[in-house]
A and B are shown apart, each in its own frame.
Chain A
């Protein structure tokens, strides 16, 4: 597997953003590492988020509390100083003196740690009481009625509220307003307010928060990266094991996993290798067995054939001279001759079948014209067809150009199909069709005989199966012919299909794929001929008539 290729593929996938959800789903389902890392990232992010939010809140609270204590202390001190100044003053009904007192208060108030101060008259009824003052933009509307009521109603208690204060540039900053009553001689109660901004605290807080987020994000990435790396050390051996198993399954029995260290993965590798050893040895045993089987078949072949040859020669000689014998002996010689031939055919077919079973059959392919081959086979079987009074017609719209096939095997298949058709065709014409397309060449053999039921048609390729045991056999079939034909067709990578209907006859279609094409099993000749008129289009001039009166049930 090439990394460059993989990365190119990934880039291509990234470009096609519409397919992202699909790709992610695929990765989620298909990659343990992707899934685990994503899960780890998600859970870590959640945990970090929770921890940092808690931390941020705690820090914020702490910062606020300390600032609050500081400002409350500052405000109390300043108010106390102002009150002391007021208490020590002697006014005695002089309005100017009272005014001066307030000026003094504002001077004192300037000593506070903020320049936002305000003194508001509580009792507006006293004629002597002068207007209050505000500095630093702490206007009356910044003060909540609740705060003012609290300050007004209680004598010398401090009250505070959080508020947004103007920052002098038209914006606002978070701040605290602290208020307390001030007793001005002759003028009654005033409310003294100080506004403290929390800009420093806010700045510290935002710095802390930014730091926390950066650290959090880095932490999440780090954990994701770590889990990716850690998982790679776990999943790479798994992926390697998967790839090795696939190669093993493909028949590379020699592949093994590398055993590193002594951990669980090493145990996996060792178990895998033990399994592969066991599989390899078992397959080798089976192969040896198959070899033994093949040798046995070959030996049996030789051992049986030599005596059979002697018997054959003897029976042929006896048969040739049977006129010289008395009728009984002559008949015996005839029977012997016929049965020896039957035995021989059976032996040949059995050996062929056992070769398929042992998998020791090889094709000897050469470019062959299917149409030509069909013509040859029909010519060679003309005599048999004549004996049955059967007319064999060849229709070949295609299939002339040579296709790679083993002509001996294909010829055997066609001979078999044609022999069956002649035997079961009830003397009606037989149509042999040859056609081809880009992917395959096909040959169909259609008889218009009795046909079979669908369940019988399913079994025609079974060994030693006969459609109707009671029927007379005129061609010495062994019951293995169609099994061998099917084996031959499959050996070519092709198919042998059958269609049959009672009273309409049977249609066998042999399909052989052209080399180098991806044959999907569809034949240029459909097995089901449809309505019996389908052959008209192929240039059949004489209609094939099926005498209705002759239509009998088969059994």
Chain B
């Protein structure tokens, strides 16, 4: 099955070039050059992944990201020319799973896309326990008692990674490798922002986390099963 990718970028040359690269790799591509139309195009096409430029005419990438996230957990990768702290963090906080800094090379782009499209790690068909949550890996479902908590695939993967090895303390680098597929030093803010987003959804009190606990100076680990 070929995955369909929506490329939202106002620079038609770049969009076309990305299209060429992606089609060479066997992906199906849809384009949208107008920020204002991006959400509608996304609704109509229902792509498996969105490549989103941050600076767009009409509506900026962060706003589009927020709107798509409100409706779906579809993987979103931001394209940004700015590595400035504020922009990247804002993008991640609005729900983007990952980001690629321009200029990037085709291999990097494809690798990022494949990581986000790969089927979730099938560690076991079992149900994992973390804190007072139960995680049904096969059904891709997280429950607190009878209440289902909806997570994006990335957040789910992050939670499963922690829950699968409850004894293990994960450094940010380990999580970057396991969840984001980075095999070299990357931006640890990715981990920080997504742990915050995850906590906001699964913790009863995000200021006093019990599910994803911080190990100061090292990283994160799963909270004790209740």
The listed residue with most B CB atoms (<10 A of its CB), out of A311, A314, A316, A344, is A316
Q: How far is the CA of A234 from the CA of B101 in the complex (A)?
A: 63
Q: How far is the CA of A311 from the CA of B106 in the complex (A)?
A: 11
A94 nearest CB across to chain B (Å)? 137
| Residue from the list B81, B107, B184 in contact with A302, Cβ < 8 A | B81
Residues A380 and B13 in contact, CB atoms below 8 Å apart: no
Closest to A300 in B: B81
Does A411 sit at the interface, judged by CB under 8 A? yes
Does A53 sit at the interface, judged by CB under 8 A? no
Q: Give chain B residues whose Cβ lies under 8 Å from the Cβ of A362.
A: 85
Q: Which chain B residues numbered 77 to 114 have a C-beta less than 8 Å away from chain A? A: 79, 81-82, 84-85, 102-107, 109
Residues B185 and A317 in contact, CB atoms below 8 Å apart: no
Q: How far is the CA of A305 from the CA of B107 in the complex (A)?
A: 18
Residues B17 and A301 in contact, CB atoms below 8 Å apart: no
Q: How far is the CA of A407 from the CA of B173 in the complex (A)?
A: 12
Does A397 sit at the interface, judged by CB under 8 A? no
Q: Give chain A residues whose Cβ lies under 8 Å from the Cβ of B185.
A: 376, 380, 408, 411
**A301-B82, A305-B81, A364-B85 are contacts. A316–B106 as well, Cβ < 8 Å?**
yes
Q: Give chain A residues whose Cβ lies under 8 Å from the Cβ of B104.
A: 309, 312
Q: Give chain A residues whose Cβ lies under 8 Å from the Cβ of B24.
A: 317
Q: Which chain A residues numbered 305 to 362 have a C-beta less than 8 Å away from chain B? A: 305-314, 316-317, 320, 344, 362
Q: Which chain B residues numbered 2 to 24 have a C-beta less than 8 Å away from chain A? A: 11, 13-14, 17-18, 20-21, 24
Residues A310 and B81 in contact, CB atoms below 8 Å apart: no
Residues A313 and B81 in contact, CB atoms below 8 Å apart: no
Residues B55 and A310 in contact, CB atoms below 8 Å apart: no
Residues B106 and A310 in contact, CB atoms below 8 Å apart: no
Residues A312 and B103 in contact, CB atoms below 8 Å apart: yes
Q: Which chain A residues numbered 373 to 402 have a C-beta less than 8 Å away from chain B? A: 376, 380, 402
The contact size tier of chain A is 20 to 34
Closest to A313 in B: B17
Q: Give chain A residues whose Cβ lies under 8 Å from the Cβ of B119.
A: none
Q: Give chain A residues whose Cβ lies under 8 Å from the Cβ of B189.
A: 364
Does A155 sit at the interface, judged by CB under 8 A? no
Closest to B9 in A: A306
Q: How far is the CA of A92 from the CA of B187 in the complex (A)?
A: 148
Does A298 sit at the interface, judged by CB under 8 A? yes
Q: How far is the CA of A551 from the CA of B84 in the complex (A)?
A: 46
Q: How far is the CA of A309 from the CA of B24 in the complex (A)?
A: 17
Does A533 sit at the interface, judged by CB under 8 A? no
Q: Give chain A residues whose Cβ lies under 8 Å from the Cβ of B107.
A: 316
Closest to A369 in B: B217
Q: Give chain A residues whose Cβ lies under 8 Å from the Cβ of B79.
A: 309
Does A225 sit at the interface, judged by CB under 8 A? no
Residues A344 and B106 in contact, CB atoms below 8 Å apart: no
Main SS of chain A's interface residues?
Answer: helix
**A317-B21, A380-B184, A402-B217 are contacts. A312–B82 as well, Cβ < 8 Å?**
no
Q: Give chain B residues whose Cβ lies under 8 Å from the Cβ of A310.
A: 11, 13-14, 17
The listed residue with most B CB atoms (<10 A of its CB), out of A306, A364, A380, is A306
Q: Give chain B residues whose Cβ lies under 8 Å from the Cβ of A312.
A: 103-105
Q: How far is the CA of A316 from the CA of B20 in the complex (A)?
A: 12
Does A73 sit at the interface, judged by CB under 8 A? no
Q: Give chain A residues whose Cβ lies under 8 Å from the Cβ of B184.
A: 380
User: Per-residue CB proximity of A207-234 to B under 8 Å, as 1/0?
Assistant: 0000000000000000000000000000
Q: How far is the CA of A402 from the CA of B11 in the complex (A)?
A: 44
**A312-B105, A316-B106 are contacts. A307–B13 as well, Cβ < 8 Å?**
yes
The listed residue with most B CB atoms (<10 A of its CB), out of A305, A317, A411, is A305
Does A476 sit at the interface, judged by CB under 8 A? no
Q: How far is the CA of A317 from the CA of B109 in the complex (A)?
A: 13
A92 nearest CB across to chain B (Å)? 140
Residues A344 and B103 in contact, CB atoms below 8 Å apart: yes
Closest to B15 in A: A310
User: Per-residue CB proximity of B104-148 to A under 8 Å, as 1/0?
Assistant: 111101000000000000000000000000000000000000000
Residues A317 and B106 in contact, CB atoms below 8 Å apart: yes
Residues B84 and A298 in contact, CB atoms below 8 Å apart: yes
Residues B18 and A306 in contact, CB atoms below 8 Å apart: no
Q: Give chain B residues whose Cβ lies under 8 Å from the Cβ of A366.
A: 188
Does A493 sit at the interface, judged by CB under 8 A? no
User: Per-residue CB proximity of B206-222 to A under 8 Å, as 1/0?
Assistant: 00000000000100000
A402 nearest CB across to chain B (Å)? 6
Residues A305 and B17 in contact, CB atoms below 8 Å apart: no
Q: How far is the CA of A306 from the CA of B13 in the complex (A)?
A: 9
Closest to A337 in B: B105
**A298-B82, A317-B24 are contacts. A367–B105 as well, Cβ < 8 Å?**
no
| Residue from the list B81, B109, B187 in contact with A306, Cβ < 8 A | B81
Q: Give chain A residues whose Cβ lies under 8 Å from the Cβ of B11.
A: 306-307, 310
Q: Give chain A residues whose Cβ lies under 8 Å from the Cβ of B109.
A: 313
Q: Give chain B residues whose Cβ lies under 8 Å from the Cβ of A320.
A: 106
The listed residue with most A CB atoms (<10 A of its CB), out of B102, B184, B217, is B102
Residues B21 and A305 in contact, CB atoms below 8 Å apart: no
Q: Give chain A residues whose Cβ lies under 8 Å from the Cβ of B105.
A: 312-313, 316
| Residue from the list B20, B55, B84, B102 in contact with A309, Cβ < 8 A | B102
Q: Give chain A residues whose Cβ lies under 8 Å from the Cβ of B188.
A: 366, 407
Known: A314-B17, A402-B217. 13 other contacts (CB 8 A): A302-B55, A302-B82, A308-B102, A309-B79, A313-B21, A313-B105, A317-B20, A320-B106, A364-B85, A364-B189, A380-B184, A380-B185, A407-B188
> Please, could you name 26 A-B residue pairs with CB atoms under 8 Å apart, sorted by A?
A298-B82, A306-B14, A306-B81, A307-B11, A308-B103, A309-B102, A310-B11, A311-B103, A312-B103, A312-B105, A313-B14, A313-B21, A316-B107, A317-B21, A317-B24, A317-B106, A344-B103, A362-B85, A364-B189, A366-B188, A367-B217, A376-B185, A402-B217, A407-B188, A408-B185, A408-B187
Pairs of residues from A and B, 10 with the lowest C-beta to C-beta distance, nearest first: A302-B81, A305-B81, A309-B103, A305-B102, A309-B102, A312-B103, A308-B103, A310-B14, A313-B17, A310-B17
Taking Cβ atoms with an 8 Å cutoff, the residues of B that contact A are 11, 13-14, 17-18, 20-21, 24, 55, 79, 81-82, 84-85, 102-107, 109, 184-185, 187-189, 217
